[in-house]
Structure 1
């Protein structure tokens, strides 16, 4: 058994995910409303644009994964991307939240171009970062710990962004909301770049593909298509992302138009993130006693129940809203570190079955499904808003308010139940995984 990773390295790995959430949390929480209420794009046009870009960007994930798997530098395959792409991502983020004085067609074209640029830059650094967790250690429990710490930082970053961004926009803009958003994204980009650099300098890659491995991209894709546990995780990630994105993206509209207290958003979403960080911290402990498949089924079942319960909460029941939000954070917090440690396990499973390892492709195709899920969620929100007559910055009709409530409760609950059903097909249990690890170790010892 390999010695445990030093805590400095585990913590340093997690720092980068805080940086990623300086972008991701802004996109998930504020970008739709930025486009509709600040930049002046209709809800239908913004939703369509975000759906198209997410769809296009999803297909870049396997490409970046293939390139990263075939990268070879003295710093490793994946770590260099943390410094190569940090500043391009920061610049793209600023451009996305920049509002040039253009006509309706020009504004929409600018939104398409800058959002696509930001998402491609994000992919170029995030895919190698995800893969890095699969090559730092071969021990399943160490992977659970690495990813548990990672998502503590991720949720902390999301909590910081959702709490601080509105105030930063107001302060940096000094009354000019458009300039405030631009400068706020510049600040987040600088902070994120510093965290990416810290991860680069303090982590190491220890697992390499089999000696003399030569594979084509289509071989990698064929291996994944025949990898049953990975296929289950692919659909699981898509479904869970739909459920989470529906609630996160709708929350700003919920507090603005249903509760009529938009200021609560600055504490409502951070309350979820703080609870999720606590849940993520408990993941390594839970996986010591509960099989990963069983744990995931239990978590998503509770998610469905809690999401559905939100439908019964009236706009004046603020304490009940927060109680359910915190409970959802505790339940969903372990989901992300659990899933990412399972992706690393499926990379081992693929090497065990086929004699080939494509770590970055494994994680890239996983984020592909997450982006499809996000795109689908945005499309659902846009369709509901358009159908029910959403009008920006105006009192909403009864139908529009009801649609917002459904997007916060019943619809995410149904997707969570679908995730439970999918997880029953996962067949890489703890006993099988131990055999996979033992066989791989024996093969390497024989070389």
Structure 2
């Protein structure tokens, strides 16, 4: 790693970098909050076909994300190493966001093919933007502490996208008499917004940390070094579980509100909006607590998931008649688990630093690709679980005016019990993570006095 004449990162640049994540999380928010119920209730895709779709896309990601990460690591341009990818693929990403929800009038086979083709294109376009975007953080600053503070601004902006999804999207779609037309028009606007935000990020960020000669590594060698990086593997596993939890909780919320609580769509919008606000506040609190030294990174990673799991278990034990208490528990659980967002995405650069100091190679793009694969794998597994559980319990929105007791238990399983289990699993994984503040500071000091980059494994133990 070369860090010539590193200049401080301005507040403006931090905000513009964060807007890139606002765009990325539009994909996350729409997928977790609405894609399942859109596919089953609006586009009339069978639950089993939906579940299989989510799994197939992950097989594609298993190949595409590492390749994109490797290619971005090898990119050499006057525009930078990772930033050019934002410029090249911003428009395809926005168009694919709109295409998924376009809802053409097709037969059952045509609908299935359309869903598969458009969603796979969206996932690939998303990877081509977001794998380099995640890697860009390590090129903006070499300071782990500064990266935490960048994320303290980035993640409230990222969660604004969830606010857009939960508050504006249902309200705008409700303005149309036909849900198909509503999704078509609103999602075209969302696609344009996604493109604009990515371009703002591109034009207002700078790559300060210059690349070393690790581009000489083959893809096979880069993959080998990723698997040798034990801290990266822990982070990837934890992120997968976290995203399974989020997808289950937010994806099942629509079914839970409609059938278990018997509340209208307006209540769902209110619930998701409150959860989105909690997601905006959580990173601000984390950044403040860490800056004041009131809490350390690893205890916060573990503790937040345990607290969130306990609250989510309480949801499953709360009578369905206590509607507003259910809403309160949902918000509190979201606030607790979202406290980790600032830290876990900063670990992408931290574990890349760890790999550099342990093995002498810097593969930020490959690490970023692994993190994005873990993120989308978690979303896919969560989405598949929703689809297969609904299919197993005979869910069909066209033939059921109300849910059976058996189906109600399925919605509770998806909304409360399984997410709680995931939170406890994430806490167990985070407890094995070793790159605390002291280790990361050691990496910074060593990089300032050594160019060899090897032999610093002790810093993480």
Check whether TM > 0.5.
yes
Range that drifts further, 248-257 or 88-97: 88-97
Cα distance per residue 1:350-403 (max 9 Å; x no partner): 111111111111111011112111111122212221222212142111111111
Matched, 1:191 2:198: no
What is the alpha-carbon distance in structure 2 between the residues aligned to residue 118 and residue 269 of structure 1?
Answer: 24
What is the alpha-carbon distance in structure 2 between the residues aligned to residue 246 and residue 78 of structure 1?
Answer: 32
What is the alpha-carbon distance in structure 2 between the residues aligned to residue 54 and residue 149 of structure 1?
Answer: 30
Counting only pairs closer than 5 Å after superposition, residues 291-330 of structure 1 correspond to structure 2 as 291-330=296-335
Secondary structure of the structure 1 residue equivalent to 2:36 = helix
Q: Give the equivalent residue in structure 2 for 1:411.
A: 418
Q: Give the equivalent residue in structure 1 for 2:79.
A: 75
What is the alpha-carbon distance in structure 2 between the residues aligned to residue 445 and residue 34 of structure 1?
Answer: 53
State whether residues 144 and 283 of structure 1, in contact with CA within 8 Å, keep that contact through their aligned partners in structure 2.
no
State whether residues 241 and 373 of structure 1, in contact with CA within 8 Å, keep that contact through their aligned partners in structure 2.
yes
Matched, 1:375 2:380: yes
Range that drifts further, 422-431 or 187-196: 422-431
Q: CA deviation at 1:51?
A: 2.2
Range that drifts further, 382-391 or 6-15: 382-391
Cα distance per residue 1:209-261 (max 9 Å; x no partner): 32575211112111111111111101101111111111010001111111121
Q: CA deviation at 1:13?
A: 0.6
What is the alpha-carbon distance in structure 1 between the residues aligned to residue 214 and residue 414 of structure 2?
Answer: 51
Q: Give the equivalent residue in structure 1 for 2:116.
A: 112
What is the alpha-carbon distance in structure 1 between the residues aligned to residue 24 and residue 268 of structure 2?
Answer: 21
Q: Which of 431, 434, 440 is the equivalent residue of 2:447? A: 440
Secondary structure of the structure 2 residue equivalent to 1:206 = coil
Matched, 1:46 2:50: yes
Q: CA deviation at 1:315?
A: 2.5
Matched, 1:94 2:109: no
Q: Give the equivalent residue in structure 1 for 2:247.
A: 245
State whether residues 389 and 397 of structure 1, in contact with CA within 8 Å, keep that contact through their aligned partners in structure 2.
no
What is the alpha-carbon distance in structure 2 between the residues aligned to residue 413 and residue 119 of structure 1?
Answer: 27
Q: Give the equivalent residue in structure 1 for 2:221.
A: 219
Cα distance per residue 1:295-332 (max 9 Å; x no partner): 10111111111111110222221221221122123212
Counting only pairs closer than 5 Å after superposition, residues 7-46 of structure 1 correspond to structure 2 as 7-46=11-50
Q: CA RMSD in A?
A: 1.8
What is the alpha-carbon distance in structure 2 between the residues aligned to residue 57 and residue 102 of structure 1?
Answer: 27
Q: Which of 365, 368, 388 is the equivalent residue of 1:360? A: 365
State whether residues 214 and 362 of structure 2, in contact with CA within 8 Å, keep that contact through their aligned partners in structure 1.
no
Secondary structure of the structure 2 residue equivalent to 1:243 = helix
Secondary structure of the structure 1 residue equivalent to 2:234 = helix
Q: Count how many residue pairs are aligned between Structure 1 and Structure 2.
A: 444
Q: Which of 61, 64, 68 is the equivalent residue of 2:65? A: 61
* Unaligned runs of at least 5 residues, structure 1: none
Q: CA deviation at 1:58?
A: 4.0
* Unaligned runs of at least 5 residues, structure 2: 454-461
Q: CA deviation at 1:271?
A: 0.6
Cα distance per residue 1:90-110 (max 9 Å; x no partner): 221222112222221111011
Q: Give the equivalent residue in structure 2 for 1:180.
A: 182
Q: Give the equivalent residue in structure 1 for 2:404.
A: 397
Relative to structure 1, is the Cα distance of residues 92 and 2 closer, same or farther in structure 2, using a 3 angstrom cutoff?
A: closer
Q: Give the equivalent residue in structure 2 for 1:420.
A: 427
What is the alpha-carbon distance in structure 2 between the residues aligned to residue 41 and residue 382 of structure 1?
Answer: 10
What is the alpha-carbon distance in structure 1 between the residues aligned to residue 327 and residue 98 of structure 2?
Answer: 32
What is the alpha-carbon distance in structure 1 between the residues aligned to residue 228 and residue 53 of structure 2?
Answer: 33
State whether residues 276 and 331 of structure 1, in contact with CA within 8 Å, keep that contact through their aligned partners in structure 2.
no
Range that drifts further, 210-219 or 9-18: 210-219
Matched, 1:334 2:339: yes
State whether residues 62 and 373 of structure 2, in contact with CA within 8 Å, keep that contact through their aligned partners in structure 1.
yes
Relative to structure 1, is the Cα distance of residues 212 and 413 closer, same or farther in structure 2, using a 3 angstrom cutoff?
A: closer
State whether residues 347 and 358 of structure 1, in contact with CA within 8 Å, keep that contact through their aligned partners in structure 2.
yes
What is the alpha-carbon distance in structure 1 between the residues aligned to residue 245 and residue 27 of structure 2?
Answer: 20
* Structure 1 residue ranges (4+ consecutive) displaced by more than 6 angstroms after TM superposition: none
What is the alpha-carbon distance in structure 2 between the residues aligned to residue 47 and residue 325 of structure 1?
Answer: 25
Counting only pairs closer than 5 Å after superposition, residues 123-134 of structure 1 correspond to structure 2 as 123-134=127-138
User: Structure 1-normalised TM-score?
Assistant: 0.95
Q: Give the equivalent residue in structure 1 for 2:274.
A: 271
What is the alpha-carbon distance in structure 2 between the residues aligned to residue 267 and residue 80 of structure 1?
Answer: 39
Counting only pairs closer than 5 Å after superposition, residues 151-190 of structure 1 correspond to structure 2 as 151-171=155-175, 174-190=176-192
Q: CA deviation at 1:433?
A: 2.1
What is the alpha-carbon distance in structure 2 between the residues aligned to residue 404 and residue 358 of structure 1?
Answer: 42
What is the alpha-carbon distance in structure 1 between the residues aligned to residue 393 and residue 61 of structure 2?
Answer: 29
